[in-house]
Chain A
Amino acid sequence: MKRPGLGLIIALLGTAAPLEASPAVQPGTREPAIEQDSEYGCLVCHAEKRRTFTMGVHSERGIHCDDCHGGDPSSVEIAAAHRGRFLGDPTKLQTIELCSSCHSDASRMRQYGLDSGQLAEFRTSRHGQLLLGRGDLNAPTCTDCHDAHLILPPDDARSNVHPTNIPATCAGCHEDEQLMGRYGLPTNQFHDYRTSAHGIAVFEAANFAAPTCTGCHGSHAALPPGVTEVVNVCDHCHVLIGRALHQGPHAASAVNGDFPGCLACHSNHGTERIEPAGIAAVCTNCHEAGSRAAAVGVEIQEETVQAAAELAAAEQAIAELRLSGRQVSNEVFRLESALTSYRQMAVAQHSFDLAMMEDLSRGVRTNTSLVRATAEARAEQQWEHKLLLVPVWFLAFSTVVLVWFKFRDLRHQGRA
């Protein structure tokens, strides 16, 4: 097994390590595993790959350069090292074959708790159709989204496929106008997403329950949802709204594909909220202005606008009560209850059940009117406080008048 030149390799490794060691490397964590491995001749030349590879999970699991690239890692000469079953820089198609040789092996992936269906999924995706079906090399392969050497789990913030990084990873190609132009695709998705409710939740609130690109399109099976699929895609998370929609008059059209489900009123990447005052206007996108359906929209809008105004007034009343030094925990609880009803109204809107809308808006009003009652009682109390000024100034003025008379008296005496 031992070959001449082994000492030289060790010596070279020993000098190579400090040369390229960066201050971020912590000795004693992952580095020794490779330093002690006498077969790592690759690193003599490809030292720059070492940093990224050793940070990844493949290195942790004992996978080495030659497991993917082939060659002879125990040699330090180029010709000898690149001998035999040597792959070098794999092509896009070779990459897919290479990765799936392990990752499609269910019995191998089981121990890591990993899914083994990526290749099957990839075959159904637009990316897969282009790359595998048409041999279009513009389509991404595994290593275009996952780094080739820096293999990290998706919950690692440095990973390309961490929720905060996925939009940027996709935008890497999908914002390229020239490239997307060839497929007739728009490039504004990332811009829209960033300002959407989903984007704000992910980037600003670090709420990773909100979807990134893959949440709606799928990751390996990436495809835009079809007309009839949209409702089901949004349903993943917006369960109650989906159920309400299916109870309402729009359910049949959505299932039949007569209209694009949620996208008929809301946009896809922007996901802007429809303000209460704008509800009826959205209905007239499809329904005629004077129609019965449009009238229902107007009614829903009125209920919602009124409830929103009630909530705003209650919030204002609580702020004033707090400013006046009152404990407002009861009122805040009432406001929260009203808010709950208000949010339920947002759900009920999608079923167009006017009776339920009225019930819920009554729930809002019941709670906000209690807050308002407290505020009114407080205002009345303040008015009563002002009444105190009447006796105070009466006493003050009478004292002044009496003293004035006494002074006049005294002056009179002084003169006499």
Chain B
Amino acid sequence: MIGRVWRAVTGWVSNVWSDIRASTDASLLGVARFVGLLYGPIDRSLRIDEALRKALKYRLAPHVGWRHVFGGITYLLFMILVVTGVLLSFYYRPSVEEAYPSVQHMASEVSFGWLIRDLHVWSANLIVLSVLAHMGRVFFTAAYKPPRETSWLIGLMLLFVVLAFGATGYLLPWDQWAYWTVTEVLDAMSATILLGGLATGAIMGDVIVSGATLSRFFALHVIVLPWIAFALLGYHFTLVRRRGVAPPAEVKETEDPWRPSAAWTVEELEKMDRGVPFFPHHLLRILVVVVLVIAVAITLAVLFPRPMADVASPYQLPGELVSTWVPVDVSLALIRYLGPWGFTAFTLLGLAMALLPLFDRSPERRLRHRPVAAVLGVTFFVGFAAAWIVGRQLRDVPPSERLPEVPSAVSDSVEPGVPLPDLGPTPLRPGDPDAERSRP
């Protein structure tokens, strides 16, 4: 018995050792294998080593450069959000009583809790900008044209997932700003026909934003949306790998010498000595971008921490309403200045832009020859930027008629008091010369 165990162990060790000796390259793979120990036996059946080597030999078309970096940045920010989000969830407690104090606790007492929290807040803002930059690049260079229209659609779903993540996460700090912003946006939503009171009621789970809403938003934020996001990301990345990066606008896809089919092969590119190897060229670029994005996010988190308003109260409007998320700036600006229908109209404009690729299937990819797309795109992006700038200036509490109604109706019934009797104008005021004279 002991002999059999001994033989098994020594056999396994000698296998690993021979693997290490057999490995002639001193690259990262060798290190991974050495540290991973079990790598050898598994690799023998799964051929991970070979797959990795193949992946590193992958070549990208020569025009692929810095402007293709935004998709990667988005993914990086998504991963930062996942990691910081998991760390936050160790301390966050999603209930009306505990949400606010638990955020206070992690922001002021947990070591580096402030950094994790502000990194999460800032990454949520940066991811919106990088998604839009990525989307803008794809839209204006017509990278969505066949055979890559599915990538565009999946990307679009990912955009909605990002917005849904932010919208649900926005309520979780449960302070006055979060509470009343969500109330106002849901109010605007319920005023439009497309979304309607029914959908808003289902999202809120109550007649006002309450504990039911908080539970819902938390569950969506940490359970439902991550699964959807990972599934869509997998699909998106697979499509990028299968279809390749779109060629430059001047090159007709059909005339592309190295793209006879939807996917081009490593061997083809190598044979024609076209393209830039992924390793080390692109990997180095990725390294620079990753380091810079993380540094920028940390800098923003350190210099501009998200302030906290008082704990949420449905009975009291906040003195001012500070927005801390880019789409909130944009939607508040739209709601305040254009009304709920302006908000809807802008959403429809975005939707039209998003759905254009489904109908725009001509092979023409130069922007000058695509006036409709250019006008739509420029209108949307300029409008977004303008609304963002306007929204940043907004600090006041909405002049909505519904907002003060709910709290006053409730507070009236709990605060006893007899109204000031209306006695009309006082006939004599001290220092009033006319009144002084009329006195006998």
Interface residues of A (CB under 8 A from B): 157, 162, 164-165, 168, 171, 175-178, 181-182, 186-188, 190-192, 203-206, 322-327, 385-386, 388-389, 392-393, 395-396, 399-400, 403, 406-407, 410
Contacts and interface: CB of A to CB of B under 8 A. Distances in A.
B284 interface: yes
Contacts of B439: 177, 181
Interface in B270-285: 280-281, 284-285
B250 interface: no
Interface in B78-104: 101, 103-104
Interface in B188-229: none
A386 B303 contact: yes
Contacts of B104: 325-327
A203 to B, nearest CB: 5
B409 interface: no
Given A386-B303, A396-B292, A177 B438 contact: yes
B160 to A, nearest CB: 30
A403 B292 contact: no
Contacts, number: 108
Contacts of A177: 427-428, 435, 438-439
Interface string B93-125: 000000001011101100000110000000000
13 contacts: A164-B421, A186-B430, A190-B423, A191-B429, A326-B108, A327-B101, A385-B114, A386-B303, A396-B294, A399-B288, A400-B292, A406-B284, A407-B281
Contacts of A386: 302-303
B426 A175 contact: yes
A186 B439 CA distance: 9
Contact of B298 (A178, A325, A388): A388
A393 B299 CA distance: 9
A72 to B, nearest CB: 40
A285 B416 CA distance: 42
Contacts of A325: 103-104, 107-108, 114, 305, 307-308
B80 to A, nearest CB: 14
Contacts of A322: 308, 310
A192 B431 CA distance: 12
Interface in B39-95: none
Given A392-B295, A396-B291, A403 B284 contact: yes
Given A177-B439, A181-B440, A188 B307 contact: no
A385 B428 CA distance: 63
Contacts of B103: 325
A399 B291 contact: yes
A161 B302 CA distance: 63
A187 B429 CA distance: 8
Contact of B299 (A165, A389, A410): A389
Contact of B417 (A206, A327, A410): A206
Contacts of B294: 392, 396
A148 to B, nearest CB: 20
Given A176-B427, A326-B107, 4 more contacts: A168-B423, A177-B427, A186-B430, A204-B417
A323 B417 contact: no
Interface residues of B, number: 42
B260 to A, nearest CB: 27
Given A182-B440, A188-B428, A399-B287, A168 B302 contact: no
B278 to A, nearest CB: 13
Given A187-B427, A410-B281, A162 B287 contact: no
Looking at A178, A192, A323, the one whose CB has the most chain B CB atoms below 10 A away is A323
B373 to A, nearest CB: 35
A406 B279 CA distance: 12
A181 to B, nearest CB: 4
B305 to A, nearest CB: 7
B35 interface: no
Given A177-B438, A190-B426, A324 B307 contact: yes
Given A177-B427, A177-B435, A392-B299, A206 B280 contact: no
B382 interface: no
A226 to B, nearest CB: 23
Interface in B133-161: none
A403 B287 contact: yes
A388 B302 contact: yes
A385 B291 CA distance: 19
Contact of A400 (B280, B291, B310, B416): B291
Contacts of A165: 421
B51 to A, nearest CB: 24
A327 B307 CA distance: 13
A187 B426 CA distance: 9
A276 to B, nearest CB: 25
A213 to B, nearest CB: 14
B418 interface: yes
B420 interface: yes
Contacts of B298: 388-389, 392
A324 to B, nearest CB: 7
Contacts of A393: 295, 299
A391 B308 CA distance: 28
Contacts of B280: 406, 410
A335 to B, nearest CB: 16
Interface string B251-290: 0000000000000000000000000000011001101100
Contacts of A204: 417, 420
Given A389-B302, A406-B284, A407-B284, A324 B295 contact: no
